[in-house]
Amino acid sequence: METFDELLSLWCTAEARGATDVLDRLLDEDFLGDGPGCSLLDKRSWLARHSDGVYVVERFDWQILEAREHQHTAIGIGVQSQVARYRGMDWSGDFLCTVVAISRQDRWTIVNVQLHRQPETVPAIPSARAGSPAHRPGTRQPARSVHRAR
């Protein structure tokens, strides 16, 4: 992946489809992500939740609120909306989602995914770059939505 936006798009599609082969390439070897019940998952555990059928996704949407790049690090803050089940329990909802990625040798990989369940409405996130049209508080880019075929 040459750009952070490409990485986010591929990640969204791979998560929705449970494509562990793609996720394996997108996630850094040092990856850590928030799992259900406040658990912290390393790369192997993150991939396993798809491959062992523990995490089943019917719909996965990602709407980016803001993205920032600084040298070899990028942070995307967005809303992840999903219809999903985890260990047979409903795990649907809206989550404030922060994705942190790094670039090494012109290749982006995700090192961290943080999730926080959101109430019905999500307030606009203030931006430090308020003068930039692409980064005004409340400015949202179109959602990337992927639906898994049953």
Instruction: Report the distance separating Cα 69 and Cα 23, nearest Å.
Output: 21
Enter the pTM of the model. Answer: 0.78
Q: By 3-state DSSP, what share of the chain in percent is helix, strand and coil, each rounded to 5?
A: 25, 50, 30
Compute the distance between CA of residue 40 and CA of residue 83 in angstroms, rounded to an integer.
21
Could you read off the pLDDT of 39-87 as tens digits, one per residue?
899 999 999 988 888 889 999 998 999 999 999 999 999 999 999 998 8
**Is the per-residue pLDDT at 139 higher than 60?**
no
Nearest of 7, 32, 9 to residue 103 by alpha carbon = 7
Mean pLDDT of 139-150: 45
| Model pLDDT, residue 142 | 47
What pLDDT digit, counting tens, does each position of 104-132 carry?
Answer: 988 999 999 999 887 655 555 555 544 44
